[in-house]
C-alpha cells in the first residue's frame, strides 16, 4: 500500500477503539461543531451496540431494516450486537432495544479501500414505529446535489481523544463538496460509491463512533458515514458511502 493510500485510510470513522481496539484518529473526536439533538429530532437514528457499548450509528429504513457501514459489521456476530432506537440519550433508558437477526454486508465491500462500505441489518422483530421512532426515506438512485448544499450528520460519537462517549446524540451541518475536487485524482481511493462533505475550515465533521450513521439532505438518507483524513482536518472532507449508487442493492435486499 502506498504512503498516500495509508494516509487516506488512517481514519475509518468507526475506529473500533470504542470496542477496545487502537484508535486511529489523532484529532478531536466528536461531531465537530455539533449541537446536542432534541428528543425526537432524529427519529431514524440508531445506536448499534456491541457487547453493551455504543459501537456505530445507523439509520432505520423500515420496521425491520437498518442501513449502516460495512466496516461496522464485518467480523461481528449478530448475537453480540443490539440496536437502540428512539432516544437521544443512551443513558436515559427510554429507547427501544432490539435483537439483531442478520448482518448483510455488501458483497463488493473492500476493507482496504472502503469501497461499497455499506451493510444492512435485519432486526429479529419489528420496531414499534411512532413518535420518536420513524423510518427515513432513501435518496433516489443517482440522486445528486449542487456543491455547497447543506447536509446534516448525526451520531453518538466520542467527544475527546480518550474516546469518552457522551451518551447524547449530536448533530451538525456540513457542506457537500463537488466532484471538481472530490475525485480520484485529488483524493486517491475515492470511487463513484463515495461522496464528500465537510467544511473547508475543518471545524465541522463526523468522527469516531459516528460511522454508519446518516448524512441527510432534504430529509432523505443521502450518505453513510465511512472514512476520512482525521477528525475535522482543515481543507479535508469526510467520505460517505453514496446511497444513490447502492440504491438498487438496498431495494433488492431490504425491499425498501
Query: Please, are residues 68 and 56 in contact by the beta-carbon 8 Å criterion?
Result: yes
Identify which of 138, 94, 123, 121 has the alpha carbon closest to the alpha carbon of residue 242.
Answer: 138
Give the residue with greater pLDDT, 165 vs 25: 165
136-244 belongs to CATH 2.60.40.10: no
Cβ atoms within 10 Å of 119's Cβ, excluding its own: 27
Domain boundaries, given as residue ranges, for the chain: 45-135+248-254, 136-244
The residues carrying an active-site annotation are 71, 117, 211
pLDDT score recorded for residue 11: 34
The label of the residue with cell 467480523 reads 75
Please tell me what DSSP assigns to residue 17: G
Same CATH topology for 45-135+248-254 and 136-244: the answer is: yes
Query: Please, are residues 40 and 129 in contact by the beta-carbon 8 Å criterion?
Result: no
Distance between CA atoms of residues 240 and 221, nearest Å: 11
Residue 53, CA distances (Å) to 95, 157, 188 in order: 15, 12, 34
pLDDT score recorded for residue 163: 53
Average pLDDT, the chain: 83
Distance between CA atoms of residues 217 and 117, nearest Å: 19
pLDDT score recorded for residue 181: 87
CATH class given for the domain over 45-135+248-254: mainly beta
For 59-114, write each residue's pLDDT tens digit: 999 999 999 999 999 999 999 999 999 999 999 999 999 999 999 999 999 999 99
Region 205-209 average pLDDT: 60
First-to-last CA distance in the chain? 37
Amino acid at each position: 500500500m502506498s504512503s498516500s493510500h495509508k494516509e487516506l485510510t488512517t481514519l475509518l470513522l468507526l475506529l473500533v477503539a470504542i470496542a477496545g481496539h487502537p484508535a486511529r484518529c489523532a484529532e478531536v473526536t466528536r461531531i465537530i461543531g455539533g449541537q446536542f439533538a432534541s428528543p425526537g429530532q432524529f427519529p431514524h437514528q440508531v445506536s448499534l451496540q456491541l457487547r453493551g457499548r455504543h459501537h456505530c450509528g445507523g439509520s432505520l429504513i423500515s420496521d425491520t431494516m437498518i442501513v449502516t457501514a460495512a466496516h461496522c459489521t464485518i467480523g461481528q456476530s449478530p448475537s453480540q450486537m443490539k440496536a437502540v432506537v428512539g432516544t437521544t440519550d443512551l443513558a436515559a433508558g427510554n429507547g427501544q432495544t432490539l435483537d439483531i437477526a442478520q448482518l448483510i454486508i455488501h458483497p463488493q465491500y473492500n476493507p482496504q479501500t472502503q469501497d461499497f462500505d455499506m451493510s444492512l441489518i435485519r432486526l429479529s422483530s419489528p420496531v414499534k414505529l411512532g413518535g420518536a421512532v420513524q423510518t427515513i426515506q432513501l435518496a433516489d438512485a443517482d440522486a445528486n446535489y449542487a456543491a455547497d448544499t447543506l447536509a446534516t450528520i448525526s451520531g453518538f460519537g466520542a467527544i475527546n481523544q480518550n474516546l469518552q462517549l457522551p451518551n447524547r446524540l449530536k448533530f451538525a451541518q456540513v457542506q457537500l463538496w463537488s466532484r471538481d475536487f472530490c475525485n480520484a485524482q485529488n483524493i486517491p481511493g475515492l470511487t463513484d460509491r463515495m461522496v464528500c462533505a465537510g467544511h473547508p475550515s475543518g471545524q465541522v465533521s463526523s468522527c469516531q463512533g459516528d460511522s454508519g450513521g446518516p448524512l441527510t439532505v432534504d430529509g432523505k438518507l443521502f450518505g453513510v458515514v465511512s472514512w476520512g483524513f482525521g477528525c475535522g482536518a482543515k481543507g479535508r472532507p469526510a467520505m460517505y458511502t453514496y446511497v444513490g449508487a447502492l440504491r438498487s442493492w438496498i431495494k433488492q435486499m431490504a425491499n425498501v
